[in-house]
Amino acid sequence: MPGVVGVSGEAVEGATVTLWWGTNDWAPVIRQGRYWYGEVWVNNATGAVGVVVTNLGVVRGNPDRLQSEVRTAVVVQTPELMNYDLDGNLVRDGRWLYSWDAENRLVRVMSWGGVDRRRV
């Protein structure tokens, strides 16, 4: 899986939209009318990466108008390794651990690794 997170949104025409993440990483966005799209690139070669992206929109004027929004994403390690049990059930992928009962029914899904560990 490539180490990229696509982020899109909507802002009034004339607004400058920028994406910020990490300690001081930023990216411009592509605009088409009021819609915009940008990409956040991360290094996911050694493990999954949790990314917090801040979208900052600015409309210059008197006074200037600012709006920000925070989004989160998890980018799994590349290459993403899939593990299966002897019955062919998926046991682990790049983000989740899967538990199956004796009749091959999915009974638990839990995130693994250092990124947002949670049970579903």
Q: What's the average pLDDT block by block, 10 residues per block, for the chain (120 residues)?
A: 88 90 86 94 87 90 88 86 95 90 94 61
Looking at residue 89, its pLDDT comes to 98
Looking at residue 50, its pLDDT comes to 86
Looking at residue 96, its pLDDT comes to 87
Count of C-beta atoms within a 10 Å radius of residue 84: 12
Tell me if the bond preceding 79 is cis, omega within 30° of 0. Answer: yes
d(CA 57, CA 77): 31
Looking at residue 117, its pLDDT comes to 58
CA torsion, ordered 60, 63, 64, 66, to nearest 10 deg: -150
